[in-house]
Structure 1
Amino acid sequence: MAWGQSSQAKYGSDFLSTGGGARALGMGGAHAALANDVTAAYWNVAGLADMQQPQIMYMHSERFSGIVGYDYGAAAMPLKNQDGVLAISFFRQGVDNIANTLNAWDRERDQPKGNVEDYITRFSAADMAVFVSYATQRNEQLSYGASAKIIHHKLGPFAQAWGYSLDVGAKYKTEIADFGVSVRDLTTMQKMWDVDQAEFGDYESQFDSLGATLPTGQNEYVLPSLKLGASRPFVISEDFLVTAAADVDVLFENRQAYYINLGRMSFEPHVGGEVSYKDVIALRAGLTDFITDPVSGFSVSPTLGVGLKLSSFVLDYGFASFAGASSDLGFTHRISLRFDIGRLR
């Protein structure tokens, strides 16, 4: 199907909004100008250029009382012969062990089949993505980079989609603050769906009786978006460092419900802060999800986090959605572990 026949997928890449690394969650997602490790491949790819040694990271997160699982893994390496850093990142969000009862119902007798468990199968609904990223420094102030993205949606045996896009980012450091900009889906993400109608069995007759047809594959596209950020460190003493950061996500999908908007543009602010002691222990707090609910009015979700650095290991924990209307959907917990390999340059 041609691009002109595609439909816009509002929230089409929201499964990636969890991001990478528990540090970012603890700071409310304000990370566009701050990320300077392997997680920068997601937040602002230009931040990879600040890395001085190879790193690997794994993160697990759960949402909606553990129903939705999210896993993230990444590795990044400075290149010896070039002034650049190469990274690869993997994301998976899924609901597993879903019961498929299509074959367990006897439609002629309008009741479950005998030995019904023999006819029930299990499947997963998963969204996955792979980023291949590269960043380099132009000079001491400016760095930039790009991430090639491939995404894959799989709804058990029924449907799947492949998509691709490109992110670009830049960071600029000044004496006052650091600034970052990330353009996500610069090329407009293209997603191609394919539906296996045979997996619906003889339910086609049921659709016909309702005047409907079985789902079919189609193409979708996701519009570009911007993430703008600023951060600044404050040296309190030889042992204490305070870092403040603020981001705003600018989207063009006409998200008028709940979000701050101006016409088709919507704005999602993120604010965060971190206090670190001797670069070993860090405490974090932030604000995210600034929304206006027609029922409960304006609300915002606070976040908390803690980090611990032990030799080459960095352990981070983030916690969100413990206040306001969002708590009705359960809490969000993230734990990430980063390993810093020996310095190469």
Structure 2
Amino acid sequence: MIRSTFCCLLVMLLVISWSVATAQVSTPKYSNEFLNVGVGGRALSMGNVQTAIANDATAGYWNPAGLLRLKDKYNITLMHSELFAGIAKNDFASFAMPLDSSSALAISVIRLGVDNIADTRRLQNEYGYIQYDSIRFFSVADYAMLLSYARQSNLIEGLQLGTSAKIIYRNVGEFANAYGFGVDVGAQLQRGDWQFGLMAKDVTTTFTAWTHNVEELEEAYQQTGNDLPENHAELTLPRLVIGVARFFQFNEKLSGLLATDLDFTFDGRRNVLLSSEPVSLDPHIGLELAYANTVYVRGGINNYQETVNFDGGTAKSMQPNFGVGVKTNGLSLDLALSRVSYSEANTVGGANTSSVVISLSYSGN
């Protein structure tokens, strides 16, 4: 059964790779990338490894098939994190519930934005004087709402299937905005202590249409000699994630979970471990240790990159992630230290930077 499942995954990978290879010219790389930053303290502390193990209210984002593993009737998750020393803020909220023994649903909301950006276009008046009271502030924010549904398969015992419909809104102050729509599909399968997952993001090719407010931009663009932007559409190509996890029970109270995800992208060569024009592969791995199903210690590695230094040399790096969690009486508090970066020869400033992620969850009847 496991062999046939992986054969199906391989066939899907080959079909997607062939069908989108010729579409790269008309699709931008990293389109709607804010949807791949990640949500949840557990996930981010494990290097964004969740495809095979997602089993709470965040499953609508990571793999909607995992919604069938909800143990309680009402499940709520809230998350807040700040990126780039607090410049950008990433927020997430989700509500999930089982409908019956074989189906479940969830609704999730994501916001990633930078607020209080100064608009200094009118800083100098017509007489050449500086007027600080003319400064206005605006936000650049990306929003997404996910409506997720999961159902038990009648064809293969234990196979869980799920889908998420995404509604996207992106806003750049009063200068531009965009609306988009896409669909994700996922599957999970458990065999003994092994867990398998498949997540096909943007499987329908997500469409995002941009509209620019040319009247607000015209004066500034004419002064700088740039061409005015035109309304256009972006297509986000599919991304395929294959996950495998293994559960270990060391003794009566101590257990562990080792998991890995393989991200396949089809929008051209990326700065990942294995890259090529038609397909790029980005692996990441995560570990979770649990004591009495109450206290959790987590770690993960992801985001392999090769950077060019000022001296022309190259440096390879991986992103470490750490976190802890506590669960009691239906309440869960997860903390993660993610996106850790170390000072290098080509960085500006000498301080190390990281992002602290806080998640609070409740599940009960």
* TM value normalised by structure 1: 0.90
Q: Please point out which of 68, 80, 84 is paired with 1:64.
A: 84
Structure 1 alignment gaps of length 5 or more: none
Answer yes or no: is the 8 Å Cα contact 2:269–2:277 preserved in 1: no
Amino acid at match of 1:144: L
Q: Please point out which of 168, 184, 194 is paired with 1:167.
A: 184
Q: Please point out which of 315, 322, 328 is paired with 1:297.
A: 315
Q: Please point out which of 183, 199, 211 is paired with 2:200.
A: 183
SS at match of 2:38: coil
Answer yes or no: is the 8 Å Cα contact 1:75–1:89 preserved in 2: yes
Inter-CA distance 120–73: structure 2 relative to 1 (3 Å threshold): same
- Counterpart for residue 122 of structure 1: 137
SS at match of 2:275: strand
Matched, 1:274 2:293: no
1:201, distance to aligned residue in structure 2 (A) = 5.8
SS at match of 1:264: coil
- Which structure 2 residues correspond to residues 190-201 of structure 1 after superposition, within 5 A? 190-200=207-217
Inter-CA distance 204–331: structure 2 relative to 1 (3 Å threshold): closer
1:87, distance to aligned residue in structure 2 (A) = 0.3
Distance in 1 separating the partners of 2:328 and 2:193: 31
Q: Tell me whether 326-335 or 247-256 shows the greater mean CA deviation.
A: 326-335
- Which structure 2 residues correspond to residues 73-152 of structure 1 after superposition, within 5 A? 73-80=93-100, 83-106=102-125, 111-113=128-130, 116-138=131-153, 140-152=157-169
Matched, 1:155 2:178: no
Answer yes or no: is the 8 Å Cα contact 2:75–2:361 preserved in 1: yes
Inter-CA distance 233–218: structure 2 relative to 1 (3 Å threshold): same
| Percentage of pairs with the same residue | 37
Answer yes or no: is the 8 Å Cα contact 2:67–2:104 preserved in 1: yes
Distance in 1 separating the partners of 2:153 and 2:293: 28
1:170, distance to aligned residue in structure 2 (A) = 0.4
Q: Please point out which of 52, 58, 63 is paired with 1:44.
A: 63
Distance in 2 separating the partners of 1:137 and 1:101: 55
1:20, distance to aligned residue in structure 2 (A) = 1.9
Answer yes or no: is the 8 Å Cα contact 2:269–2:276 preserved in 1: no
Answer yes or no: is the 8 Å Cα contact 1:299–1:324 preserved in 2: no
SS at match of 2:336: strand
Answer yes or no: is the 8 Å Cα contact 2:49–2:285 preserved in 1: yes
SS at match of 2:107: strand
Provide Cα deviations, 1:137-176, integer angstroms capped at 9, x if missing partner. 2265200010000111100000000010000000111125
SS at match of 2:268: coil
Answer yes or no: is the 8 Å Cα contact 1:300–1:324 preserved in 2: no
Distance in 1 separating the partners of 2:153 and 2:357: 34
Amino acid at match of 1:68: A
- Counterpart for residue 334 of structure 2: 316
SS at match of 2:220: helix
Inter-CA distance 258–105: structure 2 relative to 1 (3 Å threshold): farther
- Counterpart for residue 21 of structure 1: 40
Answer yes or no: is the 8 Å Cα contact 1:258–1:293 preserved in 2: no
Q: Tell me whether 88-97 or 193-202 shows the greater mean CA deviation.
A: 193-202
Answer yes or no: is the 8 Å Cα contact 2:253–2:291 preserved in 1: yes
What's the RMSD between the two structures over aligned residues? 2.0
Answer yes or no: is the 8 Å Cα contact 1:102–1:200 preserved in 2: no
Distance in 1 separating the partners of 2:353 and 2:132: 31
Answer yes or no: is the 8 Å Cα contact 1:33–1:178 preserved in 2: yes
Structure 2 alignment gaps of length 5 or more: 1-22
Distance in 2 separating the partners of 1:305 and 1:128: 26
Distance in 2 separating the partners of 1:181 and 1:232: 15
